């Protein structure tokens, strides 16, 4: 099978490396030099410095060449350009070919999940998402990781499981597509809150409380948007949240930590080369919360902190000021 991955960022390249063991893997990079480096040097020095890619991973900047022969199309494109790139690719893709999203985020304006975008652009091609606690560099380094392929059709799920799994990269299936995608998209907001607690020098108790109460908010919104509660307690919700909140590699955690240390948000964002998705997701989450009439105290404080309305210390104290009720309540 030929597996084509659109987008040669760190995660797209890692997924191409994983599938290359048993399949023909082709990466598409917008930049011709970037593609040439991957094919000729077997490196991706911009996004995965220090790693050597397998010889069997090749790259091209020609979208037609990449897409036309694809038996599986994998989308490693940021949420805000996902639809544009997919629309171009759609004209070139053969019928029935499944499209797998690697992107954790919601489309601005429409608030759609990426598989919903796939279903709009390519209504006759089955859509799936690969999501879970997957820090690219750890997988490249050969550490064990678990992930989930989310798709409504269990037969397709099992087939994609076979395409995507590899020794220490364990792939589970889950037919709750909404739940799996939402966990990955929403967790970044909570990761900022965890980072803020870290920056304010709170301890492990506080961190555990932010994670638990944050997961509860994420679940409450996710269930309103069509996910199943147990999905949020699994790899794509809790698992991804834990990895993001704990890893020093997480950009969202970093933003929160710097806010906690008292740095202004503009300065923090200006100092970063890569995007912290949670900063963009926070306002979307609050729009959705209002639309569905859901109280999300932690997300609300994060949103106000990332927009510069309040400081991290104010956000944190504001949360503590409200007296708790039952564990099932928002406060």
| Site of interaction with its own copies (CB under 8 A) | 132-135, 138-139, 141, 143-146, 148, 154, 161, 165, 167-168, 170-175, 202-209, 211-213, 215-216, 219, 229-235, 238-240, 242-243, 246-247, 249, 320, 323-328
Q: Which is nearer to its own copies, 3 or 223 (CB)?
A: 223
CB of 301 to its own copies, least distance (A): 14
Write out 65-131 in H/E/C secondary structure.
Answer: HHHHCCCEEEECCCHHHHHHHHHHHHCCCCCCCCEEECCCCCCCCCCCCHHHHHHHHCCCCCEEEEE
Q: Which is nearer to its own copies, 229 or 262 (CB)?
A: 229
CB of 231 to its own copies, least distance (A): 8
> What Å distances lie between residue 282 and 4, 130, 165, 257, CA to CA?
32, 22, 32, 16
CB of 220 to its own copies, least distance (A): 11
Catalytic position from the list 40, 91, 104, 187:
187
Q: Which is nearer to its own copies, 140 or 289 (CB)?
A: 140
d(CA 43, CA 22): 20
Q: Which is nearer to its own copies, 208 or 274 (CB)?
A: 208
CB of 183 to its own copies, least distance (A): 11
40 is catalytic: no
247, two tokens: 């890893």
Element housing 236 (H / E): none
CB of 238 to its own copies, least distance (A): 5
Q: Which residue has the tokens 């564990």?
A: 327
Q: What crossing angle do the helices spanning 251-260 and 277-292 adopt, rounded to 10°?
A: 90
The pairing of strands 127-131 and 99-101 is parallel
Q: Catalytic residue numbers?
A: 187
């Amino acid at each position: 099978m030929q597996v084509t991955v659109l987008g040669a960022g760190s995660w797209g390249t890692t997924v191409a490396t994983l599938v290359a063991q048993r399949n023909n893997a082709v990466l598409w990079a917008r930049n011709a030099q970037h593609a040439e480096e991957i094919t000729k040097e077997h490196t991706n020095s911009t996004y995965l410095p220090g790693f050597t890619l397998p010889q069997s991973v090749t790259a091209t900047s020609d979208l037609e060449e990449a897409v036309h022969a694809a038996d599986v199309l994998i989308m490693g494109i940021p949420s805000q350009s996902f639809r544009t790139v997919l629309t171009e690719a759609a004209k070139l893709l053969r019928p029935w070919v499944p499209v797998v999203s690697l992107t954790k985020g919601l489309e601005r304006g429409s608030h759609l999940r990426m598989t919903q975008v796939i279903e709009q652009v390519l209504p006759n091609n089955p859509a799936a998402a690969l999501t879970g606690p997957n820090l690219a560099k750890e997988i490249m380094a050969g550490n064990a990781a678990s992930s989930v392929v989310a798709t409504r059709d269990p037969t397709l799920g099992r087939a994609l499981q076979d395409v995507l799994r590899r020794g220490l990269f364990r792939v589970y299936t889950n037919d709750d597509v909404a739940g799996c995608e939402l966990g990955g998209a929403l967790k970044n907001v909570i990761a900022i809150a965890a980072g803020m607690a870290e920056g304010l020098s709170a301890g492990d108790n506080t961190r555990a409380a932010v994670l638990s109460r944050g997961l509860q908010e994420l679940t409450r919104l996710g269930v309103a948007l069509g996910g199943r509660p147990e999905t949020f307690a699994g790899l794509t919700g809790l698992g991804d949240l834990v990895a993001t909140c704990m890893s020093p590699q997480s950009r969202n955690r970093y933003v929160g930590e710097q806010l906690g240390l008292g740095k202004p948000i503009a300065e923090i964002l200006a100092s970063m080369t890569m995007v912290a998705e949670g900063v963009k997701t926070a306002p979307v989450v609050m729009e959705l919360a209002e639309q569905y009439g859901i109280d999300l105290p932690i997300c609300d404080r994060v949103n106000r902190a990332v927009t510069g309305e309040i400081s991290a210390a104010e956000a944190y104290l504001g949360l503590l000021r409200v007296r708790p009720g039952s564990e099932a309540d928002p406060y």
